[in-house]
Amino acid sequence: MPEGSALIPLIGLGTLQLRGRVCVDTVEQALRLGYRHIDTAEGYENERDVGEGLRASGVQREDIFVTTKISPSHFAPRELERAAKDSLMRLRLSQIDLLLLHWPNPQVPLSETLEALCGVKRAGLTRHIGVSNFEVTDIDEAVRHASEPLVCNQIEMNSFVDRPKLTAACRAHHMAVVAYCPIARGEANNDALLKRIGHAYGKSGAQVSLRWLVQQGISVIPCTSRIERLSENYSIFDFELSEAEMSEISSIARRRSRLATVMSPMRAFALKTLPAPATSVLRIGYRMLRRVMGGTAR
């Protein structure tokens, strides 16, 4: 493992759609089942629930890898430090394992954001730092400005969305790739090819999609609110896809546009062109839209 790299568990629990009691119980059950990575974000408004689930599980803190993310609206240096402290307070932890910049924010110079992020790491608020939704050019720029190792890029990847150039760029910079939406919000389960391949192993389409990722060394963080699906999504280490099956899935993996990034061009344009009060109003509207859509936007 290169210097500065993080040991990120291959499977984790995503929590984007989880709130309140369901979130607490799901995190608790996931940890009891063996999950050791929990992914949250200040933007998910569930860090308190995630923290409660961690404690309820009884699993030792040092055995759990907790990722959270700073919202782009908090990328100005002072706000970033404040946001990291607020996340720790809501999670009721003394240290985060991995703190990510959630999305690029062209309104704040990346050099300043990176300096603040590295400072937060040096101050001991997080063990590791990284980014999310960064494209190849963003990564190159981020690495140039970072005085601490960036250990990860969390991006959308699943059996319908492959990102070979981006994953190669991450690897070139010794950054782990963590795949979000790894079962395409459940759609992997209905795909004819994945179902056919899974049938031979007694596995579902969702499990095949997850396996296709972990077999490439990519960590996955599927989200579910159903306890029975926690075990299903975790049971992907007792079979191996053949080279032919891996290639067959890869060959169909570019046929769909990304799910979570539908809003990103609009978001980037608004952040770049509008004054801060207008982007705040948009942010509130976006949150309301997310609630109406049942959490499908990130």
Interface residues with ligand NAP (CB under 6 A) are: 14-17, 39, 102, 132-133, 154, 180-186, 189, 204, 206, 221-226, 229, 232-233, 260, 298
Nearer to ligand NAP, 3 or 152 (CB): 152
Give me the least distance between CB of 243 and ligand NAP, in Å please: 25
Nearer to ligand NAP, 57 or 133 (CB): 133
Give me the least distance between CB of 208 and ligand NAP, in Å please: 11
Give me the least distance between CB of 103 and ligand NAP, in Å please: 6
Cβ atoms of 2 and 225 closer than 8 Å: no
Nearer to ligand NAP, 108 or 194 (CB): 194
Nearer to ligand NAP, 3 or 258 (CB): 258
The two three-digit tokens of residue 63, written as one number: 């055995």
What is the C-alpha separation between 44 and 26, in angstroms, rounded?
A: 15
202: left (phi over 0), alpha (psi -120 to 50) or beta: left
What is the C-alpha separation between 133 and 55, in angstroms, rounded?
A: 30
Give me the least distance between CB of 100 and ligand NAP, in Å please: 7
Closest residue by beta carbon to ligand NAP: 14
Nearer to ligand NAP, 145 or 185 (CB): 185
C-alpha count within 13 angstroms, C-beta hemisphere, residue 96:
34
Choose the catalytic residue: 44, 180, 201, 234: 44
What is the C-alpha separation between 5 and 175, in angstroms, rounded?
A: 7
Name the β-bridge partners of 178.
154, 219
Give me the least distance between CB of 88 and ligand NAP, in Å please: 18
Please confirm, yes or no, whether 201 is among the known catalytic residues: no
Cβ atoms of 164 and 135 closer than 8 Å: no
Give me the least distance between CB of 186 and ligand NAP, in Å please: 3
Nearer to ligand NAP, 132 or 279 (CB): 132
**Side chain identity at residue 227, one-letter code:** I
Closest by Cα among 16, 75, 8, 17 to 35:
8
Q: Which residues are catalytic?
A: 44
